[in-house]
Structure 1
């Protein structure tokens, strides 16, 4: 009877989890607009149609506008990694709405490039925090059967924002994105008020009654006397996971440096670092900052702005497909397909650009740039671009739940800053084709390592994942 009752509850328990995912992903959509913003707007800012009172920006200023976002993300990782360990998930997410609105007001009223520099740093500061807090929050509130789905919504929402920005850049003016994100952030700030804190964090703080209410909300358990047995089972599970009984007796729940070099912690950190390196060194993220410029240089048969929108649509479709496959095909399978696909797509693009650079007539193949680049972004969205944050949140031992993702994100955004800032130099040094071959080489080596060493976490509980990493 209890088993049957539990099954019935679990059939309807995800309703509020989906609502919470929708709310926090409004912030991710806004950050997606930020990520896509430099693509179409740098072209405008570097032209005689620049909206700045000081006129058009230089090539070097344009690279700083693109890359300072990553610098802000680096600061945000460190700051929010600390804040979330002290104040939980809900409060920092609510706090973020203020700098988001300020950053877009700076663009709305920008008079010179300094306004844009400050705006990008502020937006990055928030983005760095989002990619630490949101994956952890969704992982903590989700039941096992939809944990992968909710985690994958991060990439879908980010891609929705990127696509919206590409559309804004083509069909609207420079001032449309700030107005949209400010309105979206305001709505999100209001809706966040109705979400309880993560039950895991509340248990860490020994707030048992609040944790019970949080579990009731996120698992849709109605009535104080109903589902009591299920509620207590969930409370005991979380207490065992967090180690709350040990907390009362000792400081063993606190992270020690030895946790990084032994047991599950060591393997989790190695896997996390590997995935953020792959996320950046495959080149897909950095290339989205310069999508319009890449298509302009490749001589695509379509208008570069239309190409950018097509890529945005395909990237969104790829991330959307990943949400259905992640809990069916598994993380490892998607990563293998994703890395091999990136290799094939970038190699094809690289061969086209090599032939064009060497003076061969490739006019009849001018469809290759848009086709190969779209394929790369599509297949990268299956795993390389969409799953690192989910997998890192899943595999981190409880003692490293705050430090581990923050450290991985510090590496990610540091790399992102360097690659985005110096991609124009890399392209000038190696040529477009050389750059594509370099990224393809890194991707295929990563595919081999994934086949050999990556554990599968699909459908596994926290305890099962920790046993895999021992």
Structure 2
């Protein structure tokens, strides 16, 4: 993109630099979420090679990490990896609620910078992961960092970015997350496990040393720290000290409350009584945002990604193919979100996941031995799911909520999705003997979501927050 105005060019790069810097933390979070499947099998093999025969006999001889009963080698206590995943979910719940609240009290920037400490601690704990107590603690800490990122980063990006950049910058978080997962699955194949941990710690340090010089979002500072708002607004909008008129115009735009027009009367969307009709719009925005976040569960995308009963692509190398399908889908969303729009991408994603599942169903019905249909159907679902369901959920949910309710709504939405998560995690396990029925159920959910989004989801591309509120 070419800019004629020098200030505009500076504004462009400042916003992009801030989004890239803050999402270095997303890369670390993605790797910390994915290491249990990337590094753990290699670490377990290393443990076997350095222990006595008696200790090795205590380890279950399994090939797939999802089947591992993680043992305490002193007490011989089996802890299923499914419970490890639940500890991760518990951490996300804690992080979303606690750190999301702290971000409101002390600022988005300070809260995110604070996350460097637990992020690096979780990587250091991996070195001592052979005791299952450390594994539980590491999963809770990593989940807490992730929960903070899932709430604070989308809110920070939405508040910081101009309308024309908000969508593409919002996709940087899922893109960074997927890059982190890709790295942590590739590194064990070519270099040392411990070097992988070191690389992630370096990424955390890179986030700290770059983001510490970037101001908090102008919208947050306008509400809570007006003394700092000028520095932030000039930085993110590329306004020099001599351009006072442009600064005043941007400040006036920032200071205008989010208003809608009801029957010809302007109303402040953030300060209305509960009985006012505008609060119905707030509730509608909350339900739509929650539906978009829950789509990854309802469509079956999330459980297909995590459970081996849906994977028919071989060993760890096959799983890497799945990760790259996700990475390609997320990158495609980054390129298309400001060209095509949020709604078309999300509709394509939800319907596409359903089509992929239908291909898998056809495979079972027509030719159970033809595995390539299963594989292509599965990879199609992973790719199409990534261009919308897993990439645009937080982008859309933060855009459609009024500014003052945005952070709280996202915290509640994530908390509810985490509480519902065990049900959808266990459903495919319960239906393992009826795999075709599970896939048919998820395919129907995907198609239903596509219909509901087509009817009720507003397009937010290029619109201001006030215009988005008015369109609800």
- Unaligned 5+ runs, structure 2: 61-67, 71-78, 260-267
2:20 corresponding residue in structure 1 = 22
Q: Show the 5 A alignment for 1:28-47.
A: 28-41=26-39, 43=41
Considering only aligned residues, what root-mean-square deviation do their CA atoms show, in Å? 2.8
Q: Equivalents in 1 of 2:371, 2:315: separation in Å?
A: 12
The answer on 1:13 being equivalent to 2:11 is yes
Displacement of 1:254 after TM fit?
6.8
Match of residue 301, structure 2, among 281, 284, 294: 284
Q: Equivalents in 2 of 1:26, 1:424: separation in Å?
A: 33
Greater shift after overlay, 365-374 or 38-47?
Answer: 38-47
Instruction: Report if aligned partners of 1:277, 1:412 keep a CA contact under 8 Å in 2.
Output: yes
Q: Equivalents in 1 of 2:272, 2:123: separation in Å?
A: 37
Match of residue 343, structure 1, among 349, 354, 357: 354
Match of residue 411, structure 1, among 409, 416, 426: 416
- Unaligned 5+ runs, structure 1: 244-250
**SS at 2:178's partner residue?**
helix
Q: Equivalents in 2 of 1:48, 1:193: separation in Å?
A: 38
Q: 1:87 to 1:260 in 2, by over 3 A?
A: farther
Q: Calculate the TM-score normalised by the size of structure 1.
A: 0.86
1:374 corresponding residue in structure 2 = 379
Q: Equivalents in 2 of 1:48, 1:110: separation in Å?
A: 12
Q: Equivalents in 1 of 2:46, 2:361: separation in Å?
A: 32
Q: Equivalents in 1 of 2:136, 2:192: separation in Å?
A: 20
Q: Show the 5 A alignment for 1:112-127.
A: 112-127=131-146
Q: Equivalents in 1 of 2:168, 2:4: separation in Å?
A: 21
Q: 1:196 to 1:260 in 2, by over 3 A?
A: farther
Q: 1:94 to 1:267 in 2, by over 3 A?
A: same
Q: Equivalents in 1 of 2:139, 2:179: separation in Å?
A: 19
Displacement of 1:387 after TM fit?
0.2
Instruction: Report if aligned partners of 1:14, 1:142 keep a CA contact under 8 Å in 2.
Output: no
Structure with bigger RCO (C-alpha 8 Å, 6+ apart): 1
Q: 1:171 to 1:459 in 2, by over 3 A?
A: same
Q: Show the 5 A alignment for 1:417-432.
A: 417-420=422-425, 422=426, 425-431=429-435
Displacement of 1:41 after TM fit?
4.7
Q: Equivalents in 1 of 2:272, 2:306: separation in Å?
A: 37
Displacement of 1:173 after TM fit?
5.1
2:235 corresponding residue in structure 1 = 217
Instruction: Note the alpha carbon deviations across 1:73-118, whole angstroms, 9 max, x for none.
Output: 0111110221111011100001111111111111112231111111
Displacement of 1:289 after TM fit?
2.6
Instruction: Report if aligned partners of 2:84, 2:139 keep a CA contact under 8 Å in 1.
Output: yes
Q: Equivalents in 1 of 2:428, 2:197: separation in Å?
A: 27
Q: Show the 5 A alignment for 1:121-140.
A: 121-140=140-159
Instruction: Report if aligned partners of 2:222, 2:229 keep a CA contact under 8 Å in 1.
Output: yes
Q: Equivalents in 2 of 1:42, 1:436: separation in Å?
A: 29
1:384 corresponding residue in structure 2 = 389
The alignment covers a number of residue pairs equal to: 441
**SS at 2:215's partner residue?**
coil
Instruction: Report if aligned partners of 1:94, 1:189 keep a CA contact under 8 Å in 2.
Output: yes
2:401 corresponding residue in structure 1 = 396
Q: Equivalents in 1 of 2:192, 2:310: separation in Å?
A: 22
Match of residue 467, structure 2, among 445, 464, 467: 464
Q: Show the 5 A alignment for 1:59-458.
A: 60-172=79-191, 174-208=193-227, 210-222=228-240, 224-225=241-242, 227-241=243-257, 262-290=279-307, 294-295=310-311, 298=312, 300=313, 303-353=314-364, 360=368, 362=369, 365-420=370-425, 422=426, 425-431=429-435, 433-458=436-461
Instruction: Report if aligned partners of 1:203, 1:242 keep a CA contact under 8 Å in 2.
Output: no
**SS at 1:384's partner residue?**
coil
**SS at 2:216's partner residue?**
coil
Q: Equivalents in 1 of 2:299, 2:339: separation in Å?
A: 25
Q: 1:463 to 1:424 in 2, by over 3 A?
A: closer
**SS at 1:438's partner residue?**
helix
Instruction: Report if aligned partners of 1:6, 1:230 keep a CA contact under 8 Å in 2.
Output: no
Instruction: Note the alpha carbon deviations across 1:179-217, whole angstroms, 9 max, x for none.
Output: 222221122112121111111111112424x11111111
Q: 1:396 to 1:7 in 2, by over 3 A?
A: farther
Q: 1:424 to 1:335 in 2, by over 3 A?
A: closer
**SS at 2:469's partner residue?**
helix
Q: Equivalents in 2 of 1:260, 1:81: separation in Å?
A: 28
Instruction: Note the alpha carbon deviations across 1:319-347, whole angstroms, 9 max, x for none.
Output: 11111211111111111111111001122
Structure with the bigger percentage of helix: 1
Instruction: Report if aligned partners of 1:286, 1:416 keep a CA contact under 8 Å in 2.
Output: no
Q: 1:47 to 1:109 in 2, by over 3 A?
A: closer
Displacement of 1:66 after TM fit?
2.3
